[in-house]
Amino acid sequence: MGKALVVFYSFEGNTKFIAESIAMTINADIVEIKPVNEIKTKGFMKYVWGGSQIMMKKKPDIEHVDIEIDKYDVIFVGTPVWAWTYAPPVNTFISEHNIKNKKVALFTCHGGQNAKTFEKLKDALPGNSFVGEKDFFEPLLKDKNFNANRAMEWAKAIMQ
Ligand SMILES: Cc1cc2nc3c(=O)[nH]c(=O)nc-3n(C[C@H](O)[C@H](O)[C@H](O)COP(=O)(O)O)c2cc1C
């Protein structure tokens, strides 16, 4: 399948955990999308803040990463589900990098409602072929090992 990149955003560590499980198992490069101004609270206000970012279709500034997308054949894109879609920092990354003619595999972490997140990500990444999608229900809270294994098996199958 060629060389793989895992790119992800994670606010509370779930998507990071899955992203790292994937990258480790298939020996992929990994890039974490980091907003310049990350929300400070993990309390209830995170929903208000995060929700308003979605409603206003925000593209928050993200830290620059030196990544040559052209080097990769397969790109795994991971995001937490926020307000039934992908998180705004992923939006920024997609608009700042030219992801075209790639094999793209999508993964999400969520609290029970993945909703249309995969469809919306596909709409945001036209001109690619989609080779897989997998969602994870609160992997750090529920069953870490089970979910790490699911992620690893899934990633291996895609790379075969
Ligand atoms: C602002 C915000 C909005 C969220 N919206 C949803 C949602 O629409 N559906 C859902 O199932 N979970 C939702 N969640 C829960 C997260 O998707 C879930 O906790 C996920 O595992 C977090 O991933 P992370 O640890 O990588 O940030 C939301 C969380 C936040 C902070």
DSSP calls for 84-147: TEE-HHHHHHHHHS---S-EEEEEEEESS--TTHHHHHHHHSTT-EEEEEEEEESTTTS-HHHH
Q: Find out whether the beta carbon of 12 lies less than 6 Å from any atom of ligand 1.
A: yes
Q: What is the pLDDT of residues 98-133, one digit of tens each?
A: 999 999 999 999 999 999 999 999 999 999 999 999
Q: Find out whether the beta carbon of 142 lies less than 6 Å from any atom of ligand 1.
A: no
Contact present, 103 and 75 (Cβ < 8 Å): yes
Q: Ligand 1: which of 21, 110, 116, 134 to mutate, most ligand atoms within 8 Å of CB?
A: 110
Extents of the domains making up the chain:
4-159
Q: What is the pLDDT of residues 24-71, one digit of tens each?
A: 999 999 999 999 988 777 788 888 877 877 776 688 899 999 899 999
Q: Ligand 1: which of 45, 53, 82 to mutate, most ligand atoms within 8 Å of CB?
A: 82
Q: What percent of the chain stands above pLDDT 90?
A: 81
Ligand 1 midpoint to CA 81 (Å): 5
SS3 state of residue 159 = helix
Q: What percent of the chain stands above pLDDT 70?
A: 98
Give which of 147, 16, 12, 132 is closest to 76, Cα–Cα.
132
CATH code: domain 4-159 is 3.40.50.360
* CA distance from start to end of the chain: 7
Which residues on adjacent β-strands are paired with residue 77? 7, 106
